[in-house]
Amino acid sequence: MKILLIHPPCGPRTMGVRYIARLEPLGLEMIGAAVSAEHDVRLVDMLVRPSDLVRTLKRFTPDVAGVTSEAVRSQQAVEALRTVRKYAPDCLTVAGGYHPTTFPDAFCDPAVDLCVLGEGVETFAEICGARKAGATSFDHIAGLMIRTSGGMTPTEPRPLPTTLDNQSFPDRSLTARYRKHYFYVTEPSAAAMRLSFGCHHSCSFCTSPLYSHSRYVGRDPELIFKEICSIAEPFIYFGDNGSFHEADRMSALAHMLIDRGVKKRYLSYVRTDTIVGNPELFELWARAGMTFAMIGLEAFDDDALDGFNKGTSSSINEQAVRFLEEIGMSILAGFLVEPTAGPADFERLDAYIKAHPSILHAELTPLTPFPGTRYHQQHGHNVIARDWDLYDMQHFVVTTDLPAKKLYRMMLRSYTKVVLSVIRREKLWLPFLGIRTRKLRLLRGLLASRAALRRAHTHVQLN
């Protein structure tokens, strides 16, 4: 049976890290690994080459097509399945990922047959098995929303996974033709991995608790080590929220990498309280090759952090930043921009970044009320934009105290300072004196991101 997996593109108004990073569709590679032994599987990465979907459909007629989607690419995901339906009318179409899980009604479209809720590896494999056996009904498969004449109808809930160690490694051969196009900020060649599922914490703005119900499952360190050794790229992005939730597990993995002489570089999201509570662990990981830590600082005062249910404090954040500076680990820092933000907030932000040279790049993230989150429950009545293309955590989609144009102008000024800092640090001002391709790509990405921010206020009328 023929299976087509689709990584949809971004819309033209979508901003964010798309300009400075592009990573493999890890979830689709994991799903592909689960079904490739019994089926002919192809993967199309439309983020790299949007035209590849039609080109593939002209010579490959799938029996099942699956698309992954978060909120910001949900419209493009549905459009991709409409294209599949045009070329393969009898194909069973499936949508999965964060947005189909948290807001399946966005996929109630004639082009979409099924939505997978939550962890999708086993569910998709069961769908393909049933389809191969000739099934026309899938209501016996747990963890689905099925489109019917009355809307989206759920099947029995699927239990959350209790282990990840029975899953195959992602099938990276499916993205072989795209891999040279995967990069991350200053790293010209990048791979992605998953070390765990879920997160113990319940930040008010985060969709992860909705997906995992605040449960957490970590992979066996030996299996993680084996997967790292199987990856050709020199840089690996740990793509889950909770990679370092279990210190003993990550300590064992670091020792394996050091003792067996594995030479790679790593980036991981890490909570600041985890850093402060486990300094020896991060000294160890600095030796193992971890060069970047992505930390969500979010805010500068404890009242705001408490309001986000972050579970940290401004003191803990500062201790974590200082410690990472001491061990020479670069920081990718995230700051939330509230709808009430004003000039004083941006001045404070600028001063903080300037005072911490270890912050390689800073993401300024307007608070976004994703459906189902606590923040949406608190502020959903202030939502003024329901165009999912704008849910990229770069657009303000709620009412703001300041006029939109003024607010974006202040964001632009702060982001320009971030861009200039990166240009100075990476010496990107020498484009004609033997600059490497990676630096030229980073320079273009930073400038493209800045240009997009200049236009952001035209995308949605805020005030």
Q: What is the pLDDT of residue 428?
A: 60
CATH number at residue 135: 3.40.50.280
Give the span between the Cα atoms of 200 and 245, in whole angstroms.
8
Note whether residue 175 is domain-resident: no
Note whether residue 173 is domain-resident: no
Same domain, 124 and 195: no
Per-residue pLDDT of 355-404, as tens digits, reads 998 898 888 999 999 988 899 998 888 998 888 988 988 889 999 999 88
Enter the DSSP assignment of 160: P
Give the position of tokens 């489109």. 147
- Band of the pLDDT at 454, cuts 50, 70, 90? confident
Same domain, 17 and 94: yes
Q: What is the pLDDT of residue 434?
A: 46
Stretch 144-152: mean pLDDT, rounded?
94
**In contact, 400 and 445? CB cutoff 8 Å:** no
Computed over every residue of the chain, the mean pLDDT equals 91
Same domain, 365 and 237: yes
Among the candidates 116, 135, 154, a domain finishes at 154
Same domain, 215 and 143: no
- Band of the pLDDT at 178, cuts 50, 70, 90? very high
Q: Which residues pair with 152 in a beta bridge?
A: 147
Same domain, 135 and 189: no
Same domain, 258 and 374: yes
Of residues 454 and 271, more confidence is placed in 271
**In contact, 363 and 333? CB cutoff 8 Å:** yes
CATH number at residue 234: 3.80.30.20
Same domain, 9 and 147: yes
CA angle 339, 450, 325 (to 5 degrees): 80
Q: What is the pLDDT of residue 33?
A: 97
Q: What is the pLDDT of residue 463?
A: 37
- Band of the pLDDT at 436, cuts 50, 70, 90? low
Return the percentage of the chain with pLDDT > 90, whole number: 70
Note whether residue 165 is domain-resident: no
Instruction: Retrieve residue 180's tokens.
Output: 């040279």
Give the position of tokens 């160890």. 284
Q: What is the pLDDT of residue 210?
A: 79
Note whether residue 336 is domain-resident: yes
- Band of the pLDDT at 168, cuts 50, 70, 90? very high
Q: What is the pLDDT of residue 437?
A: 63
Same domain, 149 and 186: no
Q: Domain range spanning residue 209?
A: 182-458
Note whether residue 337 is domain-resident: yes
Among the candidates 154, 172, 190, a domain finishes at 154
Per-residue pLDDT of 235-283, as tens digits, reads 999 989 889 999 999 999 999 999 999 999 999 999 999 999 999 999 9
Stretch 45-59: mean pLDDT, rounded?
97
Per-residue pLDDT of 83-102, as tens digits, reads 999 999 999 999 999 999 98
Give phi and psi for 383, each to the nearest 5. -70, 130
pTM exceeds 0.85 for this model: yes
- Band of the pLDDT at 325, cuts 50, 70, 90? very high
Same domain, 143 and 209: no
Q: Is residue 462 predicted with pLDDT exceeding 70?
A: no
Give the span between the Cα atoms of 117 and 102, in whole angstroms.
8
Same domain, 33 and 73: yes
Q: Is residue 432 predicted with pLDDT exceeding 50?
A: no
- Band of the pLDDT at 430, cuts 50, 70, 90? low
Structural domain count of the chain: 2
Same domain, 93 and 198: no
Note whether residue 174 is domain-resident: no
Same domain, 292 and 251: yes
Quick one: which of 149, 56, 152 has its CA closest to 95? 152
Q: What is the pLDDT of residue 297?
A: 96
Q: What is the pLDDT of residue 429?
A: 56
The number of angstroms, rounded, from the C-alpha of 260 to the middle of its chain's C-alpha atoms is 30
Q: What is the pLDDT of residue 456?
A: 77
Note whether residue 45 is domain-resident: yes
Note whether residue 171 is domain-resident: no
